[in-house]
Amino acid sequence: MEVDYALRTFGIDLSTQLKTSTTMNKDGKDDESIEEDVRHRQQTEDEWRRSEAPYCDSSSTIALFPNSQDIIMGRNKAVASTWPGNIMYRKVVQDNLHRYIEARRLALGWIDKSLISLEILQIMKKECGSRFLSRNERNWVAIDDLGAQAKINKTLCSLVSEMASHPA
Protein backbone atom coordinates (compact mmCIF):
# COMPACT_ATOMS: atom_id res chain seq x y z
CA MET A 1 0.00 0.00 0.00
CA GLU A 2 2.81 2.45 0.87
CA VAL A 3 4.59 1.61 -2.38
CA ASP A 4 1.41 2.30 -4.36
CA TYR A 5 1.05 5.68 -2.63
CA ALA A 6 4.70 6.57 -3.21
CA LEU A 7 4.45 5.70 -6.90
CA ARG A 8 1.23 7.71 -7.27
CA THR A 9 2.92 10.81 -5.83
CA PHE A 10 5.25 10.62 -8.82
CA GLY A 11 2.33 10.20 -11.22
CA ILE A 12 2.77 6.46 -11.79
CA ASP A 13 -0.59 4.69 -12.07
CA LEU A 14 -0.59 0.98 -11.26
CA SER A 15 -4.31 0.35 -11.80
CA THR A 16 -3.86 -0.96 -15.37
CA GLN A 17 -0.86 -3.08 -14.44
CA LEU A 18 -2.74 -4.52 -11.47
CA LYS A 19 -5.35 -6.19 -13.65
CA THR A 20 -2.83 -7.89 -15.91
CA SER A 21 -0.55 -8.98 -13.10
CA THR A 22 -3.30 -10.50 -10.96
CA THR A 23 -4.90 -12.45 -13.81
CA MET A 24 -1.54 -14.10 -14.47
CA ASN A 25 -1.09 -15.02 -10.80
CA LYS A 26 -0.26 -18.73 -10.45
CA ASP A 27 0.17 -19.08 -6.71
CA GLY A 28 -2.77 -21.42 -6.32
CA LYS A 29 -5.48 -18.87 -5.51
CA ASP A 30 -8.85 -19.51 -7.06
CA ASP A 31 -10.38 -17.02 -9.51
CA GLU A 32 -12.89 -15.64 -6.99
CA SER A 33 -10.25 -14.61 -4.45
CA ILE A 34 -8.18 -13.01 -7.21
CA GLU A 35 -11.19 -11.06 -8.47
CA GLU A 36 -12.05 -10.02 -4.92
CA ASP A 37 -8.49 -8.82 -4.40
CA VAL A 38 -8.65 -6.80 -7.65
CA ARG A 39 -11.99 -5.26 -6.63
CA HIS A 40 -10.64 -4.34 -3.22
CA ARG A 41 -7.54 -2.71 -4.74
CA GLN A 42 -9.63 -0.83 -7.30
CA GLN A 43 -11.95 0.39 -4.55
CA THR A 44 -8.93 1.58 -2.56
CA GLU A 45 -7.60 3.29 -5.69
CA ASP A 46 -10.94 5.05 -6.28
CA GLU A 47 -11.08 6.23 -2.66
CA TRP A 48 -7.53 7.57 -2.95
CA ARG A 49 -8.35 9.44 -6.18
CA ARG A 50 -11.44 11.03 -4.58
CA SER A 51 -9.47 12.12 -1.52
CA GLU A 52 -6.67 13.56 -3.66
CA ALA A 53 -8.94 15.34 -6.19
CA PRO A 54 -8.73 18.75 -4.44
CA TYR A 55 -4.92 18.67 -4.68
CA CYS A 56 -5.00 18.00 -8.43
CA ASP A 57 -7.10 21.09 -9.17
CA SER A 58 -5.01 23.77 -10.90
CA SER A 59 -6.55 26.47 -8.69
CA SER A 60 -5.48 24.73 -5.47
CA THR A 61 -2.59 26.23 -3.51
CA ILE A 62 -1.42 22.81 -2.28
CA ALA A 63 -0.57 19.80 -4.43
CA LEU A 64 0.71 16.36 -3.53
CA PHE A 65 2.24 16.19 -6.97
CA PRO A 66 2.38 18.77 -9.78
CA ASN A 67 0.12 18.75 -12.83
CA SER A 68 1.77 18.70 -16.23
CA GLN A 69 1.00 22.44 -16.61
CA ASP A 70 2.67 23.45 -13.33
CA ILE A 71 6.09 25.06 -13.11
CA ILE A 72 8.37 23.28 -10.64
CA MET A 73 10.70 25.58 -8.74
CA GLY A 74 13.81 24.43 -6.96
CA ARG A 75 17.35 23.36 -7.50
CA ASN A 76 16.74 19.97 -9.12
CA LYS A 77 17.47 21.01 -12.69
CA ALA A 78 17.29 17.44 -14.03
CA VAL A 79 13.60 17.18 -13.14
CA ALA A 80 12.69 20.80 -13.78
CA SER A 81 14.25 20.88 -17.25
CA THR A 82 12.17 17.93 -18.44
CA TRP A 83 8.87 18.77 -16.72
CA PRO A 84 6.22 19.72 -19.33
CA GLY A 85 5.13 22.84 -17.43
CA ASN A 86 8.72 24.08 -17.16
CA ILE A 87 9.28 23.48 -20.88
CA MET A 88 6.14 25.48 -21.67
CA TYR A 89 7.31 28.21 -19.26
CA ARG A 90 10.72 28.49 -20.94
CA LYS A 91 9.03 28.79 -24.34
CA VAL A 92 6.76 31.63 -23.16
CA VAL A 93 9.76 33.41 -21.59
CA GLN A 94 11.80 32.98 -24.80
CA ASP A 95 8.90 34.37 -26.84
CA ASN A 96 8.90 37.52 -24.69
CA LEU A 97 12.67 37.85 -24.20
CA HIS A 98 13.08 40.30 -27.09
CA ARG A 99 10.70 42.74 -25.35
CA TYR A 100 12.72 42.53 -22.15
CA ILE A 101 16.00 43.07 -24.01
CA GLU A 102 14.50 46.07 -25.80
CA ALA A 103 13.33 47.54 -22.48
CA ARG A 104 16.86 47.15 -21.09
CA ARG A 105 18.43 48.60 -24.25
CA LEU A 106 16.22 51.66 -24.10
CA ALA A 107 17.01 51.99 -20.38
CA LEU A 108 13.33 51.91 -19.52
CA GLY A 109 12.48 51.78 -15.86
CA TRP A 110 11.92 48.72 -13.75
CA ILE A 111 8.17 49.29 -14.14
CA ASP A 112 8.30 48.42 -17.85
CA LYS A 113 10.35 45.30 -17.19
CA SER A 114 7.98 44.33 -14.37
CA LEU A 115 5.01 44.72 -16.71
CA ILE A 116 6.63 42.25 -19.11
CA SER A 117 7.11 39.70 -16.31
CA LEU A 118 3.54 40.33 -15.13
CA GLU A 119 2.24 39.64 -18.64
CA ILE A 120 4.21 36.38 -18.73
CA LEU A 121 2.72 35.45 -15.36
CA GLN A 122 -0.79 36.13 -16.65
CA ILE A 123 -0.14 34.01 -19.76
CA MET A 124 1.07 31.12 -17.62
CA LYS A 125 -1.83 31.34 -15.16
CA LYS A 126 -4.77 32.21 -17.41
CA GLU A 127 -3.94 30.62 -20.76
CA CYS A 128 -1.88 27.64 -19.60
CA GLY A 129 -3.48 27.00 -16.20
CA SER A 130 -0.07 26.86 -14.53
CA ARG A 131 0.96 27.26 -10.93
CA PHE A 132 4.46 28.01 -9.69
CA LEU A 133 5.11 25.23 -7.17
CA SER A 134 7.76 25.05 -4.51
CA ARG A 135 8.43 21.94 -2.42
CA ASN A 136 8.13 21.91 1.36
CA GLU A 137 8.57 18.94 3.70
CA ARG A 138 5.40 17.07 2.70
CA ASN A 139 3.92 18.50 -0.48
CA TRP A 140 4.06 21.14 -3.20
CA VAL A 141 2.86 24.66 -2.39
CA ALA A 142 1.88 27.31 -4.93
CA ILE A 143 3.83 30.52 -4.41
CA ASP A 144 2.12 33.90 -4.56
CA ASP A 145 2.12 36.17 -7.60
CA LEU A 146 4.97 38.35 -6.29
CA GLY A 147 7.20 35.31 -5.83
CA ALA A 148 6.27 34.01 -9.28
CA GLN A 149 6.96 37.41 -10.83
CA ALA A 150 10.36 37.49 -9.09
CA LYS A 151 11.09 34.03 -10.55
CA ILE A 152 10.18 35.28 -14.04
CA ASN A 153 12.39 38.38 -13.61
CA LYS A 154 15.27 36.18 -12.48
CA THR A 155 14.79 33.89 -15.50
CA LEU A 156 14.73 36.86 -17.89
CA CYS A 157 17.87 38.37 -16.33
CA SER A 158 19.74 35.07 -16.43
CA LEU A 159 18.83 34.54 -20.10
CA VAL A 160 20.09 38.05 -20.96
CA SER A 161 23.32 37.40 -19.03
CA GLU A 162 23.69 34.04 -20.76
CA MET A 163 23.26 35.67 -24.16
CA ALA A 164 25.84 38.35 -23.29
CA SER A 165 28.42 35.80 -22.18
CA HIS A 166 27.89 33.60 -25.26
CA PRO A 167 27.45 35.96 -28.22
CA ALA A 168 26.22 34.28 -31.39
pLDDT in tens, 31-69: 677 778 778 888 877 776 676 666 555 566 776 678 888
Q: Are residues 15 and 85 in the same domain?
A: no
Q: Are residues 44 and 104 in the same domain?
A: no
Q: Are residues 156 and 76 in the same domain?
A: yes
Q: Are residues 79 and 158 in the same domain?
A: yes
What is the pLDDT at residue 38?
A: 77
Identify the domain boundary among 28, 56, 84.
Answer: 56
CA distance 157 to 116: 12
Q: Are residues 96 and 139 in the same domain?
A: yes
Neighbour order of strands in the sheet with 140-142: 62-63, 140-142, 132-135, 71-72
Q: Are residues 80 and 159 in the same domain?
A: yes
CA 162 vs CA 149, 153, 155, 158: distances in Å? 20, 14, 10, 6
Is pLDDT at 22 greater than 50 in this prediction? no
Listed in sequence order, the residues at least 6 apart from 49 whose beta carbon sits closer than 8 Å to its beta carbon are none
Listed in sequence order, the residues at least 6 apart from 23 whose beta carbon sits closer than 8 Å to its beta carbon are 34
Is pLDDT at 159 greater than 70 in this prediction? yes
Q: Are residues 41 and 77 in the same domain?
A: no
The answer as to whether 84 is a domain residue is yes
The answer as to whether 63 is a domain residue is no
Q: Are residues 76 and 154 in the same domain?
A: yes
Give the domain range for residue 9. Answer: 2-56
Q: Are residues 6 and 30 in the same domain?
A: yes
Q: Are residues 160 and 82 in the same domain?
A: yes
The answer as to whether 64 is a domain residue is no
Give the count of domains, the chain: 2
Report the candidate in 117, 107, 116 with the shortest Cα–Cα distance to residue 145: 117
pLDDT tens-digit readout, 67-94? 888 898 887 777 778 889 999 999 999 9
Q: Are residues 86 and 30 in the same domain?
A: no
Q: What is the mean pLDDT of the chain?
A: 78
